[in-house]
Structure 1
Amino acid sequence: MDQVHTRAMDALQSFVHLADSSSASSPRFVANIITNATASPHTYVFAELLERPAIQALRSPDTPPELQGYITLLEIFAWGTWQDYQQTPNLPLLSEDQARKLRLLSLLTLASSVKPLTYEILMDSLSLSAPSDLETLVTTAIYSSLITARLSPATTPPTVNVTSVAPLRDVKPTYLPTMISTLSAWESRCGSVIKDIEAEIAKIKADSAQRRAKENTRLVVIEKTLAKWNAEPGEAGRLGGDPAGRGSAPKKLGWKARDIGTALRNRDFFGGGSNKREFDDDGFWDDNSNELDALGSGMDIDEGAGARTGLGSAGARTAKRFLGKKS
């Protein structure tokens, strides 16, 4: 749609140059410029032409009465509609090209302001008597890239579904204060939203910094606790060295967090289990394995904690011999 606006501006430049030329001193010459500009198939914006001094000179009382209406006609093409032309007296008659152009421009305005855009509304606003005439006009607007739309003649009521409109209508000067007020209010709301967002961002940053400070404090406490624990004397005789506490002096513990977890998981580290296997005095094991008993008599062997953990002299065994034969 922006390309359409650019093409329309480019198409108007030749008429702007004519209005600025020395020949534009004649009111009739200026009126001819307006007629040709409004009938041209590619001109859809007219504000720049309307601002030229030669065009504005038509408002002079010295302008012939039959030519004074041309500047009003140009204003209607710039921001007015077909109904404005119908309701304004003393305007020049329109050629077929001018009438089609004004209806197309009016269609842009109606498509931007009226929802839903029914056949009835359009035909009444554009003074069209047959639906086929309306469909031809809408099709022309679509192929000229003025609107993006789809005709729905079978719906109830029949409608024209417009999805986009080219920015090809000029702004009426009297609308500018309202537009400025609307834009100012919008700017104020945007500023308020930005302030709220900035306040929320600051709050999130502050909460994040507070959480990091608490986490750092907790880590410092844990490190100090572990350091103090490592500095205290432990029962080295029971945890390393002679399990009976003989033959070695107590040592300071050098525990770390992983050492504590390993020690807790290894329950046999703190107390031994028993694993007894009985010998039969007939020279074989009592578990029916048919393996030879070298001692030749019943013997009960107690494998203590040291045998399971393998720490120091904890692997010593205590044997008990039972007298008599197994009956």
Structure 2
Amino acid sequence: MDQIHIRALEALQPFIHLANSNSATSPRFITNLITNATSSPNTYVFAELLETPAIQALRAPDTPDEYKGYLTLLEIFAWGTWQDYQATPSLPRLTAPQTLKLQLLSLLTLSTTLKPLTYASLMTALSITQPSDLETLVTKAIYSSLITARLSPATSPPSVNVTAVAPLRDVDPRALGGMVSVLTQWETRCRSVIGEIEAEIARIRSESARRREEEYGRNVVFEKALAGWGSEGGDGARRAAGWQGKESGGGPGGPGGVGLGGGNKREFSADDFDDDDDDGYWEHGVEGDGQGLGSRMDIDDGAGSLRLGLGARHPKRVLGKKS
């Protein structure tokens, strides 16, 4: 609870105690109690005093007319304004302290209901004729911690900028129905908004689950494809390695394989053949030839020659005959 409200309740307690005492039996005593409570400089709430049986006794039909207006006056101090006082007939005349108190309380209400809060509008609502008197009233309210405000007399139009209002006004029981209706409508809107939020949350969760499932499916397919590609790639690599081995060593075209072309030469030595064997070839070239070919010669198998290891040989070129 706000400190200003606590102080206001503490200031009202002596009057509540008097209203509940055994002496509070005559209408004159009760009306004097109301006058003193509304004139006290520190009392700003009055609902607790209004609820006492002694104050409510003024509603009795046998109450003299001169005292009946005090109950209405106390209700105006509790939740009404200066305009309500002026609009209600047969009310007691206010003293100067009561007038200042009601104007201060009215300023609290106007600060929350009147926009913009200009000098002109406040002076009309509070029956003030001079701007200086309004500024004095607002300054009093500020120093009493009733409002937090700043005067702006140089603006156009001059205005009072209120930023905070003390919770000191009571609620008119006649306004409870409207307040309940407004709160019910607000509750309905809140429930509707909450329902929409919950539906959106459910939709987001469902969409998130669907996306996770799709991503999981894509990952499974990708992993399977990656595993299959790795297996096929390994076999291909092994096949490629085997073919290269054949090319370089024992495979086709290698020393122990089948020659499929090209440029392979066999080196022969004339000493490998028996000179005594008349095979029809000269050792040192063709007869009558002035050039010797040496004791060794290369026999070119020729392109496209095929050596199968079956004793087949390519015919040798005739180098020379014995005479």
TM-score in terms of structure 1 length: 0.71
Aligned residues of 1:237 and 1:245 also touching (Cα < 8 A): no
Identify if the C-alpha distance between structure 1 residues 245 and 151 changes in structure 2 by more than 3 Å, giving closer, same or farther: farther
Pairwise CA distance, 1:5: 2.1
Q: Deviations over 1:86-126 (max 9, x none)?
A: 22222222222111100001111111111112212212221
Pairwise CA distance, 1:212: 0.4
Mapped partners of 2:6, 2:193: distance in 1: 35
Mapped partners of 2:113, 2:246: distance in 1: 98
Q: Which runs of 4+ in 1 moved over 3 A?
A: 229-233, 236-248
- Structure-2 residue corresponding to 1:22: 22
- Structure 1 portions without partners, runs of 5+: 249-327
Mapped partners of 2:203, 2:145: distance in 1: 49
1:244 aligns with 2:245: yes
Mapped partners of 1:227, 1:238: distance in 2: 19
Identify if the C-alpha distance between structure 1 residues 239 and 78 changes in structure 2 by more than 3 Å, giving closer, same or farther: farther
Q: Deviations over 1:144-198 (max 9, x none)?
A: 1211211111122211122222221111111111111011000000000000000
Mapped partners of 2:150, 2:242: distance in 1: 93
Mapped partners of 2:54, 2:143: distance in 1: 34
CA RMSD of aligned residues (A): 2.2
Aligned residues of 1:237 and 1:243 also touching (Cα < 8 A): no
Pairwise CA distance, 1:56: 0.6
Identify if the C-alpha distance between structure 1 residues 231 and 134 changes in structure 2 by more than 3 Å, giving closer, same or farther: same
Mapped partners of 2:171, 2:211: distance in 1: 55
1:131 aligns with 2:126: no
- Structure-2 residue corresponding to 1:194: 194
Aligned residue pair count: 249
- Structure-1 residue corresponding to 2:280: none
Q: For residue 25 of structure 2, what is the amino acid of its counterpart?
A: S
TM-score in terms of structure 2 length: 0.71
- Structure 2 portions without partners, runs of 5+: 251-323
Mapped partners of 2:75, 2:243: distance in 1: 111
Mapped partners of 2:217, 2:130: distance in 1: 83
5 Å matches for 1:212-231?
A: 212-231=212-231
Q: For residue 4 of structure 2, what is the amino acid of its counterpart?
A: V
> Percentage identity across aligned positions?
66
Identify if the C-alpha distance between structure 1 residues 59 and 234 changes in structure 2 by more than 3 Å, giving closer, same or farther: same
- Structure-2 residue corresponding to 1:113: 113
- Structure-2 residue corresponding to 1:52: 52
Aligned residues of 1:20 and 1:52 also touching (Cα < 8 A): yes
